[in-house]
Amino acid sequence: MTSTDNGSSASKLTVTIVGGGIGGLALANMFERANIEYLILEKSTSVKALGSSLGLDASSLPVMEQLGLLEDFKVASKPVRHFNFYNEQIQSIGLVDFECQTEIGGYPAVILDRPTFYSILLKKLPKDKIHYGRKVATIEQDEHSATVHCADGSSYTSSIVIGADGAYSAVRKNMYKDLAEQGRLPPNDALPLSYDQHCLVGVSKPLDPSKHEMLRRETCDFEIVIPKSDPFYAIYMPLPGNRVSWAVIHNVEKAEAKSGEARYSEWGSGSDASEEMSNFVRHQRSVFEGMTLGDIIDQTPKELISRIMLEEKYFETWYNGRVVLLGDGK
């Protein structure tokens, strides 16, 4: 068993961040700037970014600017110009204009792919601050420190623990177990997550820009196809490099997310949920002339396709003693 004292003396604040996703990596960049000692524990054995895109706007870009990362984001992204809506015949049924974003908020809305987003967040972080393959299982705390125990037997002690471990947070589970035993957990927090949407996402290989005008634009329009004939709709977002980020959203009957149920299902992962959803949606016409949604899916590397459950829940409790939650975990 490895036991690392990540520093628990009263004079020096040290932090264990559980989860090296967007929240954990962004926080680590802040700690680098603030000179706060930290360590990230990430359960995956390497960086694992979902094959999809991410939109940022005036609510988050000022933070990236303070972290000295804004220029990287500008180079790697496209500014969002419009949301264009279409029916099943790909006839326009409406438009939302985003061009006024900079005037309103001081920053444009931009879009980039997630693997690139991760690489920008990782750029300024020393490699030895992220310990991969560390799945946090349990946490204990006393007056002076908090200790996390990982599934591989390692443990880490620090002044505080920050759970940035996503929607199915193990840190939250541990915290809520303690609070429930003490009779201090609000009833709503004891209820499971639920979801009523399944989402299939991917980022295509480069497509031919000479055939598709929307790829040649400096800006990105979200092209949204909402057919009356299908129980799902599709969004296409052109990215730098002539690639297209796409998402298909299927409304399903509201269901409880079962404990231990995989949130993501990846192509070839043993579960055929991604392939199954892909077959279900592939007939729909896409905004790319002469191509169906299935043709776009076929132009996407399988490792960049995932099916995701989109959960919704508001948790009231986000800290207890020396343990605190951030991001999707709270």
Pairing mode of beta strands 78-86, 146-150: unpaired
Q: Work out the number of other CB atoms within 10 angstroms of the CB of residue 102.
A: 14
Please choose, from the candidates 256, 266, 254, the residue with its C-alpha nearest in 3D space to the C-alpha of residue 308: 266
Closest contact distance (angstroms) between CB of 191 and ligand FAD is 20
Is 18 an interacting residue with respect to ligand FAD (CB under 6 A)? yes
Cβ atoms of 18 and 148 within 8 Å: the answer is: yes
Q: Which of 112, 121, 161, 201 binds ligand FAD (CB under 6 A)?
A: 201
Q: Which of 8, 16, 17, 23 binds ligand FAD (CB under 6 A)?
A: 23
Q: Which of 61, 64, 215, 308 binds ligand FAD (CB under 6 A)?
A: 308
Is 277 an interacting residue with respect to ligand FAD (CB under 6 A)? no
Is 328 an interacting residue with respect to ligand FAD (CB under 6 A)? yes
Is 166 an interacting residue with respect to ligand FAD (CB under 6 A)? yes
- Within the chain, strands assigned E span 3-5, 14-18, 37-42, 53-56, 78-86, 92-97, 110-113, 130-132, 136-141, 146-150, 155-158, 160-163, 194-203, 220-225, 232-238, 244-256, 264-266, 305-312, 319-320, 323-325
Q: Which of 14, 16, 21, 110 binds ligand FAD (CB under 6 A)?
A: 21
Is 266 an interacting residue with respect to ligand FAD (CB under 6 A)? no
Please choose, from the candidates 263, 268, 292, 264, the residue with its C-alpha nearest in 3D space to the C-alpha of residue 280: 292
Angle value at C-alpha 318, between 312 and 322, nearest 5 degrees? 150
Give the Å distances, CA to CA, from 303 to 19, 51, 76, 307: 21, 8, 21, 11
Distance, in Å, from the CA atom of 248 to the CA atom of 276, rounded to the nearest integer, reads 13
Query: Would you state the structure tokens that stand for residue 6, as one six-digit string?
Result: 């990540």
Binding segment toward ligand FAD, per CB under 6 A, in 51-59, 85-93, 251-259, 267-275: 51-59
Please choose, from the candidates 241, 244, 223, 225, the residue with its C-alpha nearest in 3D space to the C-alpha of residue 233: 225
Q: Which of 74, 82, 131, 135 binds ligand FAD (CB under 6 A)?
A: 135
Binding segment toward ligand FAD, per CB under 6 A, in 21-29, 121-129, 250-258, 293-301: 21-29
Nearer residue to ligand FAD within complex by CB, 16 or 145 = 16
Closest contact distance (angstroms) between CB of 249 and ligand FAD is 9
Distance, in Å, from the CA atom of 18 to the CA atom of 147, rounded to the nearest integer, reads 11
Is 52 an interacting residue with respect to ligand FAD (CB under 6 A)? yes
Nearer residue to ligand FAD within complex by CB, 63 or 209 = 63
* Alpha carbon of residue 182 to chain centroid: 33
Nearer residue to ligand FAD within complex by CB, 189 or 328 = 328
Amino acid, single-letter form, for residue 120? I
Closest contact distance (angstroms) between CB of 164 and ligand FAD is 5
Binding segment toward ligand FAD, per CB under 6 A, in 22-30, 94-102, 124-132, 211-219: 22-30
Amino acid, single-letter form, for residue 113? D
Is 238 an interacting residue with respect to ligand FAD (CB under 6 A)? no
Write out the binding residues for ligand FAD, residues 167-196 only, by CB under 6 A. 170
Q: Which of 24, 51, 108, 238 binds ligand FAD (CB under 6 A)?
A: 24
* Alpha carbon of residue 263 to chain centroid: 12
Q: Which of 15, 17, 28, 54 binds ligand FAD (CB under 6 A)?
A: 54
* Chain residues in the site for ligand FAD (CB under 6 A): 18-24, 41-44, 52, 54-55, 135-136, 164-166, 170, 199, 201, 247, 308, 327-329
